[in-house]
Chains A and B, each alone.
Chain A
Amino acid sequence: MEIPRPDPERESHAAAVSPADITLRPLSIDDVDDFMVWATDANVTRFCTWEPYKSRDEAVSFITNVAAPHPWFRAICLGDRPIGAVSVTRNSGGDRCRAGEMGYVLAHGHWGKGIATAAVKMAAAAVFRERPELERVEALVDVENVASLRVLEKAGFTREGTLRKYVVLKGKSRDMVMFSLLSTDLLPLRHQ
């Protein structure tokens, strides 16, 4: 019987290998200047629920009161300098066991290099490893956020559908695309 050849896509999921020198780690107060680089940029916040940050105090408050106690929040680092962030929520109530919603931001100067894709793959693999009860990671992306739609497709998420007028973003109702990655999607393919 022929021994199955390794599938590079699955290998990279399992080993969390990144194409660049990308790592994930918690954000600290010492990162505030790097945080301000992306958090003050309207290109970055265009499809976020929040507006660009205007002061270091706001950034320190976010890092201390939101990022630090968050169920799963990581800085995306290039050579250990944060250039963005990725997070996965913990859904409450009846959904507690099964799903988390992923979000991510990346400094504009680092777009188009596959970094967000690598970070999303690493984050998904890590959160499935750390939370054995987690069945599903989902992400909602504005239909007009073409770059982010491509990140999730390249990261191996399944595009499940377009949800019309799903949320209000900055005062306007928006169509959002739902993506998901299941813990079982990360299992290596088995040959018969």
Chain B
Amino acid sequence: MEPIDSERITVRPFEPADADDYFSWASDDRVVRNLRRTPLTARDQALATIIDVCIPHPWRRSICVDGRSVGFVSVNPGSGDHRCRADISYALATDFWGRGVATAAVKLAVARVFGDLGEVLRLQAFVDVGNRASQRVLEKAGFQREGMLRKYTYLKGELKDLYLYSLLSADTGTNSN
């Protein structure tokens, strides 16, 4: 699989017009395998998810190649004493796996999200210990592995050991308190 030229990769808010493209990757079991969500089964779910979830979300973006949605990157900030940290997650259509797209998208997200979410000092990502490809995305985007959390959560009925990665605003040189 050939790498995709980074100029073709963008990150932008979702639009209702993305519904068909959204459905094509969000209905794929392989794409959502490591996420809590289950694959979509009907096209009208895609439009509903975009309108009800993606657009109102604190920070969710479509990963686009040539302007068309091929995945998402999502940053979910905590509240109260947890307001300094946010969880980042992402998924990508299988046609674009192994071509530098997720890495480029995470780098674009990191470059913007600390400015957009002013209280967030820490981005963190939980990755299955077996998901080597996703670990590499985070490492190339500058995240540090902090450790392995044993039997940390159930995901789709399985108890998971997860690596925890983090990136601080201070690591990026972003000037935010």
Contacts and interface: CB of A to CB of B under 8 A. Distances in A.
The binding surface of chain B is classed by DSSP as strand
B167 to A, nearest CB: 9
Nearest to A183: B151
Interface in B75-125: 81-85, 121-122, 124
B32 interface: no
A140 to B, nearest CB: 11
The binding surface of chain A is classed by DSSP as strand
Interface string B132-158: 000000000000101111111111000
Given A161-B164, A164-B122, A173-B121, A180 B150 contact: yes
B164 A136 contact: no
Q: 3 closest A-B pairs (Cβ-Cβ)?
A: A161-B147, A161-B146, A160-B147
A162 B147 CA distance: 8
Contacts of A95: 153-154
A160 B149 contact: yes
B159 interface: yes
Given A98-B159, A161-B164, A173-B122, 17 more contacts: A94-B154, A97-B154, A98-B152, A135-B151, A138-B149, A158-B150, A161-B146, A162-B146, A162-B147, A163-B124, A164-B122, A164-B144, A165-B84, A165-B168, A165-B170, A166-B84, A168-B83
Interface in A151-182: 158, 160-169, 173, 178, 180, 182
Contacts of B85: 165-167
Contacts of A92: none
Interface in A52-103: 94-95, 97-99
A14 B144 CA distance: 37
A167 B154 contact: no
A164 B166 contact: yes
